[in-house]
Amino acid sequence: MASSCEIVEIQVLAPAGAGEVRSRLAEALPPELPVFRAEEVPEGERLRMEAATYEARPREGGPPLPPGEAADALLSLERVPVERRGKSVDLRPLLRELRREGESLRMRLGFHEGGATARPEDVMGALGADPRGYLYERTGMVVRLQQAGGPETERSYGP
């Protein structure tokens, strides 16, 4: 799966500002892995991945995308069971957004800490499509920062 939005959480041993961490990381990585942004997570806060946004596009010569009505019908269901490693997982609580945008299907899929996650391939299968017929790219992430005893803040990256 391709990705144009990855989040890396690193801990530095010596005090350094976000700008210094960004430039030093950018120097250490090859040019095809650009570092767009660095942010400091205040001491005592923890970063929790909340959701990711994906786009699915047909492979060359592959099947067309399911129609937008199929996405609407899937979102209207109370349960969307899929088999994963011999277990049934309900994707419905993890499906935050699902819509057709031109020649791609955009999906926002939630994460459950310590629990089930949804993969874009699972969603395509639930739509009745062969997941192998599509290319997938993660295009965005939503994270929550939580300070011990304090409020949570949500941040989105990507579209």
Taking only the tens place, the pLDDT of each residue in 121-156 is 999 999 999 999 999 999 999 988 877 677 778 888
**Do 51 and 98 meet the contact criterion of CB atoms below 8 Å apart?**
no
Tell me the pLDDT tens digit for each residue of 75-123. Answer: 999 999 988 778 888 999 999 999 999 899 999 999 876 666 789 999 9
pLDDT average, residue stretch 5-22: 85
Is residue 63, in this structure, part of any structural domain at all?
A: yes
Q: CA-CA distance, 92 to 72, in Å (whole number)?
A: 12
> How high does pLDDT run on average in the chain?
88
Is residue 17, in this structure, part of any structural domain at all?
A: no
68/126: higher pLDDT = 126
Is residue 49, in this structure, part of any structural domain at all?
A: yes
Is residue 11, in this structure, part of any structural domain at all?
A: no
Number of domains, the chain: 1
